[in-house]
Structures are given as C-alpha cells and as structure tokens.
A and B are shown apart, each in its own frame.
Chain A
Amino acid sequence: MSPPCPRSGLRRRLKHLGVGWLMALAAGCATTGEADPRDPFEGLNRAVYAFNDGLDEVIAEPVATAYVKAIPNPVRERVRNFFGNIADLFIGVNNLLQGKLGDAGNDWARFLFNTTFGLFGIHDVATEMGFEKHNEDFGQTFGRWGAGDGPYIVLPFFGPSTLRDSVGTVLDFRADPLTREGHSERDAAILLRLTSQRADLLEAGRLLEEAAFDKYVFQRDAYLQRRRSLIYDGSPPRERIPDARLDAPEVAPRAPAMARGAALRSYAPRVPANYDSVMAALDGGRR
C-alpha cells in the first residue's frame, strides 16, 4: 500500500459518495404501481438521474463543449487514443477472463504497437494495421460468465448501470491505472479523460434530447440493449420483435441473458479456474 496522502484524490471522495448512495438505497424509495420489472428502484433511480442530469448540464456538458471548441480535432483524437491505449490493457485482461484468447492477444498487440510506433498511444496505428479495438469491462465479463443484469441502477456521477455492472465498475475502477491512490497529478489526467469521453457523447446527448419523450426511459432501455449487445460482442441472439400485424403474443422486453437456465437469475458470477491467478497478477503490479 502506498502511504496515506493528504490529497488522496478523486478515488476517496467517490468512495464516500458511494456509501451515501447505498444508505439512500437502504432507506428505500422503491416505487409502486406499474413498475418495469427490470427497474424496481425507479423512484430512486429517477432522483439520481435528475441529479446527474443537472450536474451534467451545469458542469460536464459546458466543459465538454468548450473543449471541443478550443481544441482542434486532431489533438482531441490524440487524447482519445492515449486513454484508449491504456484501456486496451484491461480490455485484453477481460477478453482473457472470457476465454477469448485471440481477442486478448489482439488487444495486447494493439497496446504494444500503439505504445511504441504510436508514440505512447497518441496515434492509433494498430487499427490501421488491422488490429481492431474492442469494448470490454468486468461487467461484460460477469455477463459472459452467466450473470444476469440484476436490477437497473443509476449510479451518481457514473450514470446508467445494473447491479452486475456496478460490481464490474468497482473492479474496473480498481484496475484503472489512473485511479491509484496517492497521485494527485492523476486527478488532472482523470478529468481530461472524463472531458474527452463526455465530448465524444455530445452528439448522442443532442440526439437523445430530440428523439426521446421521456429521456430517463429512453436512456435506460438503450443502456440495457447496449449492454446485452456488448456481452455478445455485437451479435446477440436475435430477439423476435413481436409483430402485431401477425397477432403475435407480446414478448417481455427483458433480455434473456445467456440462456443457461437458473444461472441467469443468479448475480453471483461463476468464476473460472484461472481467476485467482489472473487477479493475483493484476494485484502484483499495484504493490
């Protein structure tokens, strides 16, 4: 462990907020009535959503807009590439945990080429070489192992999530090289990354504003669909859209996760044999 540092950074502050949030959850504000079975805490979630949305409107969106205006696109692309390159390391770890050795190799090859030929990752030369960027995180890994979504949860600051993905996010956060304690200069890096990520979502935010009647519902459904697609790496089994023209019976919109019976309803992921050794290897770099 690193010695205690007076400026312990974003991480500790976020930890306190997490505790506060859990207490609010324990206090219980679940809605009654016509609740969506995927979203049993809709009342609380809407409150957190409103908080996040307000914060976004006042801080994140203006900062991201200013960033896009002030920084030319090629530079913003380098910033995105730089952080994307760091992320590739753990995308590879997650692919390994999911048993996709080829994909893991691809991700680490990306890291290798982009860190060297790509000058510490600011140029994404690997994509041009044919090594495609992947999208993986611990939440997806748990999904791959058979964990269902669990209830939909809107996390303060982080936004849409599920019980499974919240656990995943905690691990993502722990694994993230930028969130190690005791490095205050890393706060600046985290803020830059957040700004860059928010800037990439400006257009999507505008579309959401235009397309949705109820932004909360639209975002929730989009998130759940998106995560399902990501767990299956973009090719989820095709869900028959109920076709009223054929008088087909309504199918519940719930995603039938990995079709493994009871395992779907269990939130405890099944752990593969190599889990301990992989996690030990990850922790090794930290001490």
Chain B
Amino acid sequence: MILRWLRRSSVGAALAAFAAPGAYAEMPPDVLVKTVTLEVVDIVAKDQDIRAGDRRKVIDLVEAKVLPHFNFTSMTALAMGQNWSKASPEQKRRLTEEFKTLLVRTYASALAAYRDQKFDFRPLRMRATDTDVTVQVRVIQSGAQPVSIDYGMEKTAHGWKVYDVTVGGVSLVVNYRTEFNNQVREAGVEGLIRNLQAKNHSLASDYAAAEKK
C-alpha cells in the first residue's frame, strides 16, 4: 500500500520535473535516478506499441530520456582499462560511439521486459563535497529476492552522470573489461572497434527481421 502511494506521489514529482527540463542538471543524483526511472517506466507501462514489442520505440525512448544522463566516454574508458591509453583520440571517439550503441540496445531490451515491478529507491547519504557516489535502486518482485541496480555516478559541469551500472552485483564496466581486453590482445584496438560495429550491425538486422514478422 505504502509502496503504491509512494509510487504515485513520485510520478507526480516526475511530472513536475518534466515541466522544467533544465532542472535535471541541478538534481541530486538520487533524485535524478528516481525521476528518470519513474518517468521512463511510466511511459513503457502505458505505451501500447512498446508493450506489443516495438523495439525501435523503446530505443528512441532510451535515447531521448536515459542517454543524456550517461557519461559514455567515462564508461568506455573504464571498460577499456589500461588499453584506453593505446587508442588514438579518433579511435576513442569511435569506440565510445559503438559501445554507446550496444549499451543502448541492451538497455532497451531490459526495459522492454519491464512488467509493473515496483521500485525501492534507497535514500542516498552523501556529503555536499562528494563527486562520486553510488545510487541504489531495488526492483521488488514476488517470490524472489529483490534485484539491485546500483548506478555509479560522477558530478560533471552538466549535472550528475552515470558511469557504471551494476545489476544484481554485476558491474557492466567490469564485465566488459575482460572481453575488451581479450579482443584488444587478439586484434588490437582497431579489431575491437570492428567487432563492436559488426555486433551492432547484426543486432540491428535481427531487430529488422523480427519486426517484419
């Protein structure tokens, strides 16, 4: 009951923030996560096309609402680890672009699976001087342990930005590091970029094929 009430009141808060788009930059990280999450899942829950499996629409939604709050350069650099310094500025730009495309696709797939689960937004204890925090959210589900989603966030000139997402204890950045490292060792930075491009192309054609059905 309380959860439901909280959720409804938060949707109100989300709508208020919606009216003032510039407000995101000033939001504390936990408020930002809560606002954006509720805004996005509210759209997913109501949109008939998305519920019917319209991938393109989910990806558009993620690009419009979620993507601006991520720092993909940080994410890519962290996933590259020591290999980041081996890449030229041009390679860094292309790597970030391809990694972003891949992450948006997988994020959209995860979001498309959303089915009215409730959220528990953990209050964040932080000092005013903090520039690097973890915002914790838990997805409540019946008969199973809640799934934790932790957002690693850093303070930038344009507000707080996400640089890592940890789902159920699994950090995306850490998980991609071994894969990236293996690929760079085998085929160099250029090889990794080629493989990312190939993966994105094949995913895009999978969606196109699925939509034609």
A residues whose Cβ falls under 8 Å from a Cβ of B: 34, 36, 73, 77, 80-81, 84-85, 124, 127, 132-135, 200, 203, 206-207, 210-214, 217-218, 221-222, 225-226, 228-230, 234, 236, 238-239, 241-245, 247, 250, 253
Contacts and interface: CB of A to CB of B under 8 A. Distances in A.
Contacts of A225: 169-171, 174-175
A101 B178 CA distance: 38
A77 B143 contact: yes
Chain A interface mostly helix, strand, loop or mixed? helix
A162 B107 CA distance: 29
Interface string B37-81: 000000000000000000000000000000000000010011011
Contacts of A134: 145
Chain B interface mostly helix, strand, loop or mixed? helix
A178 to B, nearest CB: 16
Given A213-B199, A217-B179, A244-B81, A132 B169 contact: no
B34 interface: no
Given A124-B143, A210-B109, A245 B175 contact: no
A226 B203 contact: no
B104 to A, nearest CB: 11
Contact of A234 (B105, B143, B169, B179): B169
A239 B140 CA distance: 26
A127 B195 contact: no
Contacts of B170: 222, 225-226, 229
Contacts of A210: 105-106, 109, 203
Contacts of A212: 179
Contacts of B81: 242, 244, 250
Residue of B84, B178, B195 ringed by the most chain A CB atoms within 10 A: B178
A70 B174 CA distance: 38
Contacts of B143: 77, 80-81, 84-85, 124, 127, 133
B195 A241 contact: no
B164 A250 contact: no
A243 B203 CA distance: 30
A253 B169 contact: no
B177 interface: yes
Contacts of A85: 143
B85 interface: yes
Given A81-B142, A244-B81, 4 more contacts: A217-B179, A244-B84, A245-B77, A250-B82
Interface of B: 74, 77-78, 80-85, 102, 105-106, 109-110, 113, 115, 134, 140, 142-146, 148, 164, 168-171, 173-175, 177-179, 182-183, 185, 195, 199, 203
A253 B174 contact: yes
Contacts of B115: 73
B164 to A, nearest CB: 7
B169 A229 contact: yes
B164 A36 contact: no
B113 A203 contact: yes
A153 B183 CA distance: 23
A253 B142 contact: no
Given A228-B169, A234-B169, A242-B82, A211 B174 contact: no
B58 to A, nearest CB: 13
20 contacts: A85-B143, A124-B143, A133-B143, A210-B203, A211-B106, A213-B179, A221-B179, A222-B175, A225-B171, A225-B175, A226-B170, A234-B148, A241-B164, A241-B174, A242-B82, A243-B78, A244-B78, A247-B85, A253-B174, A253-B178
B127 to A, nearest CB: 16
B169 A230 contact: yes
A80 B144 contact: yes
Nearest to B185: A34
B26 to A, nearest CB: 26
A127 B140 contact: yes
B126 to A, nearest CB: 14
A213 B183 contact: yes
A284 B192 CA distance: 57
A229 B149 CA distance: 12
Contacts of B185: 34
B142 A124 contact: yes
Contacts of A239: 174
A244 B109 contact: no
